[in-house]
């Protein structure tokens, strides 16, 4: 399957300077396309979560299982939550520097199990790992009429994701 990150909305993204914890609430829209004319895909157990520089910063959110037929597209729009996630000192500093520079690069990772269906035959489970870059620009609250002390994060554009099965 091919995966695309179509959208990302950031409801909350607060780095606590005192204890180096991150609280984040994001909603992402992921699309999966099965480009094959003969093979269907069963998504049995699939989770999505966000990472910053390799560290998981939200809890895993389960995506609904289902079947994806030939040339079908499946769209998921999960919320990803991270409450007071402790960051290592270097990560908290790096995130603060990225915010000050005006950009943040997160990744949305999708992991789980899938099976292939060819005719009536259904395969065993295969491990799925998808990585989607999330390019966010940081804007002060002034440009959107909000609180200037609260940064506004904007998703730049739809991106293709890397897929390993």
Whether residue 94 contacts residue 13, with contact meaning beta carbons closer than 8 Å, is answered with no
Q: Give the residue-averaged pLDDT of 5-13.
A: 94
**Burial track 16-35 (b if 16+ CB lie within 10 A, e otherwise):** eeeebbbbbbbebbbbbebe
Share of the chain above pLDDT 90, in %: 83
pTM above 0.75, yes or no: yes
Q: Give the residue-averaged pLDDT of 32-48.
A: 97
Instruction: Give residue-wise pLDDT tens across range 114-161.
Output: 999 999 999 999 999 999 999 999 886 555 555 555 567 888 888 999
| Beta strands in 16-148, from DSSP E residues, in sequence order | 21-33, 39-52, 55-56, 61-63, 66-68, 73-76, 79-86, 103-118, 121-122, 126-139
pLDDT confidence of residue 130: 99
pLDDT confidence of residue 139: 80
pLDDT confidence of residue 97: 95
Q: Give backbone dihedrals phi and psi of 44, rounded to 5 degrees, phi first.
A: -90, -50
CA contacts within 13 A on the Cβ side of 150: 9
Q: Is the pLDDT of residue 61 over 90?
A: yes
pLDDT confidence of residue 40: 98
Sorted by where each starts, the structural domains of the chain and their CATH numbers stand as 2-164 (2.60.40)
Residue labelled with tokens 């959110």: 61
């Amino acid at each position: 399957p091919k995966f695309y990150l179509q959208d990302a909305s950031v409801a909350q993204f607060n780095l606590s300077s005192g204890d180096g914890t991150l609280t984040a609430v994001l909603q992402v829209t992921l699309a999966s396309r099965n480009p094959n004319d003969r093979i269907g895909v069963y998504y049995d157990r699939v989770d999505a979560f966000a990472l910053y520089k390799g560290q998981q910063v939200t809890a895993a959110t389960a995506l609904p299982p289902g079947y994806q037929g030939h040339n079908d597209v499946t769209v998921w729009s999960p919320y990803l939550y991270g409450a007071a996630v402790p960051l290592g000192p270097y990560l908290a500093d790096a995130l603060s520097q990225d915010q000050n520079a005006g950009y943040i690069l997160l990744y949305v990772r999708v992991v789980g199990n899938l099976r292939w269906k060819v005719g009536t035959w259904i395969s065993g489970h295969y491990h799925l790992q998808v990585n989607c870059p999330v390019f966010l620009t940081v804007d002060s609250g002034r440009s959107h009429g909000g609180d200037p002390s609260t940064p506004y994060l904007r998703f730049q554009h739809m991106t293709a994701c890397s897929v390993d099965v």
